[in-house]
Amino acid sequence: MKRIIALVLAIVLSAAMFAGCQKTPAPPESDAGSSTAPAVGNKPVELTVVTSYGGDDGNRANYENAYKAFEAASGNVVKDASGTSNEEWKAKIMADFETGAEPDVLFYFNGNDANKLIEGGKVVSIEEIRKVYPDYASNMKDEMMGASPVDGKNYSVPVNGYWEGLFVNKKVLADCGVEVPGADYTWEQFMKDCKTIADKGYTPIACSLQEVPHYWFEFCTFNFGTVANHATLPASSSDEAGKAWVNGLNDMKAMYEAGFFPKNTTTATDPETFQLMADNKAAFAIDGSWKLGWFEENAANIDDFTVTYVPAKNDRKATDMIGGLSMGYYITKKAWDDPEKQAACVEFVKAMTTDEVVSTFGATAVTALKNGTAVPENANSLVTAALSLTKGATGVAPAAQDLLNQAARNALFADVKNVVTGKTTAEASVDAALAIKG
């Protein structure tokens, strides 16, 4: 049923997306997030907030505008402790909860990544919050907020969903005589194109296998499955799902051995390798819908870039995408039990998830808003391409990696560089990760 919902989502989404990403949101007056004033009797407080909108996140400016608007309207102060979403960031958040140093509000994943928070009673369910604040998240569709796999309850309020696609530097392709790929892009043609690009002296793929190998892992394994069975956790490297993971890792190894990744891909950071796109030194990069803002901020000419489908092989169509609603705002139990902070936390989340604010974060993404996101005005060529991308999607599957517990995922992705360099096998890497129990 989840896969059916995801497919329906993709179709619905394609009909209604997107927005100018940089306008400063003013506190709206008519929806569930309209009230940003402190509760009667409550003094303004300082809220510690952790999100993934740190570093070079494409929505960093939108996040800053939104929480500063909340501060101005409420008198509360936001102590922003946001970081870049990677395995280290996730581990630090879990460590903070274990030591009692958790934030008041957390923007975090809502799948297996959050199981420990739910099981440990570290965050408050939306059902519990609505007993006191009945209109909390009332502008959202409950069935789309991302229920916890632990108990089926909603705990987080989503901002926008995501899709992952192939960002393309059209200038580099033109210099190499390679056509911009479309909806029928095959893996075989992709490998030929990468060879041509490499021979011309460019880097075919901007990617740090040291920090963010997961996008390529996701699609390389997807190429050995279907929308219906992609999100399946293997029992071992030898079952059907496990073989897909092994084959996907071996495709990444073939790409590495062919010299298609940056020379320093096993040691460089994600910002370092991704900058190759903006510098017109690399041709392709897989990333998410949140990366549109990064290109708008860093590209000398936004018209040099587009986004299209990730090349496919076997039964997967290139138009079958990875996507979903995977993150949202949590209120921690610690803050909820603090009478001075409870109302402020509720108002903060409401202010960050109004229809208007959500629309600024990702009009081209999946949304749980009952009213949908606002249609963008004067969309640039990259946003237009993103709209076309979602319209043409034939299926949407959630990320298979989210089925792993955090420790297992850390181990698997830390081992990718060892697989591609031949220090271990794909089978051994998959089995070692699956042996780690959460």
> Per mean pLDDT, which range of 7-16, 57-66, 102-111, 354-363 is the poorest?
7-16
Q: The dihedral of CA 220, 225, 229, 232: what is its sign?
A: negative
CA distance 330 to 150: 15
Q: Which residues span the domain enclosing 252?
A: 162-323+380-435
Count of domains in the chain? 2
Looking at residue 375, what is its pLDDT?
Answer: 64
Per-residue confidence (pLDDT) for residue 66, from 0 to 100: 97
Residue 57 has pLDDT above 90, yes or no: no
What's the number of CA atoms in the CB half-sphere (13 Å) around residue 438?
Answer: 18
Q: How far apart are CA 180 and CA 141, in angstroms?
A: 37
Residue 151, judged by CB atoms within 10 A of its CB (0-12, 13-18, 19+), counts as exposed
Q: Quick check: is 39 in a domain? A: no
3-class secondary structure, 359: helix
Tell me: do 228 and 251 sit in the same domain. Answer: yes
Q: Could you read off the pLDDT of 204-217 as tens digits, one per residue?
A: 999 999 999 999 99
In three-state secondary structure terms, 79 is strand
Is position 27 within any domain?
A: no
Query: 206 and 276 in contact (C-beta within 8 Å)?
Result: yes
Burial class (CB in 10 A: 0-12, 13-18, 19+), 196: middle
Statement to judge: residues 177 and 104 lie in one domain:
no
Give dist(CA 376, CA 359) in Å, integer.
9
Sequence length of the chain is 438
Q: What is the three-state SS of 83-119?
A: CECCHHHHHHHHHHHHCCCCCCEEEEECCHHHHHHHH
**Could you tell me if residue 182 is inside a domain?**
yes
- 143 found inside a domain: yes
Q: 152 and 167 share a domain?
A: no
Cβ proximity of 417 and 210 under 8 Å: yes
133 and 96 within one domain: yes
Out of 84-88, 112-116, 176-180, 422-426, pick the least confident. Answer: 84-88
3-state secondary structure of 71: helix
Q: Which of 362, 388, 419 is the last residue of a domain?
A: 362
In a domain, residue 397? The reply is yes
> Residue 406 is inside which H or E element, if any?
helix 406-414
| Range 75-93 average pLDDT | 91
Instruction: Show which of 362, 390, 420 is a domain's final residue.
Output: 362
Query: Residue 13 — pLDDT band, cuts 50, 70, 90?
Result: very low
pLDDT band at 42 (very low <50, low <70, confident <90, very high): low
Residue 27: the pLDDT is 40
What would the pLDDT profile of 290-303 be if each residue is shown by its tens digit? 898 899 899 999 99
273 and 130 belong to one structural domain: no
pLDDT of the residue at 111? 79
pLDDT confidence tier of residue 201, bands split at 50, 70 and 90: very high
345 and 405 inside one domain: no
305 inside domain: yes
Supply the CATH number for residue 129's domain.
3.40.190.10
Between CA 167 and CA 150 the distance in angstroms is 35
Same domain assignment for residues 148 and 166: no
Q: Which of 333, 362, 391 is the last residue of a domain?
A: 362
Query: Quick one: 211 and 307 in the same domain?
Result: yes
Note whether 189 and 112 are same-domain residues: no
Residue 66 near residue 357 (C-beta atoms within 8 A): yes
3-state secondary structure of 334: helix
Task: Considering only residues 6 and 405, tell me which one the structure prediction assigns the higher pLDDT.
Answer: 405
98-113 burial string, b = 16+ CB within 10 Å, else e? Answer: eeeebbbbbbbbbbbb
pLDDT at 368: 79
CA 96 to chain centre: 22
* Domain identity same for 351 and 401: no
- For residues 146 and 156, the answer to whether their CB atoms sit within 8 Å is yes
- Reported as a single tens digit per residue, the pLDDT across 247-291 is 999 999 999 999 999 999 999 999 999 999 999 999 999 999 889
- In the predicted model, what is the mean pLDDT of residues 318-327? 88
Confidence of residue 18 (pLDDT cuts 50, 70, 90): very low
- Both 181 and 294 in a single domain? yes
Do 192 and 306 have their domain in common?
A: yes
Per-residue pLDDT tens over the stretch 343-394: 999 999 999 999 999 888 866 676 778 776 776 777 899 988 988 887 788 8
Task: Give 129-151 as a DSSP string.
Answer: HHHH-TTTTTTB-GGGS---TTT
Task: Look at residue 117 and tell me whether its pLDDT is greater than 80.
Answer: yes
Mean pLDDT of 59-82: 95
Does any domain span residue 372? no
Chain center to CA of 371: 22
Domain membership of residue 312 (yes or no) is yes
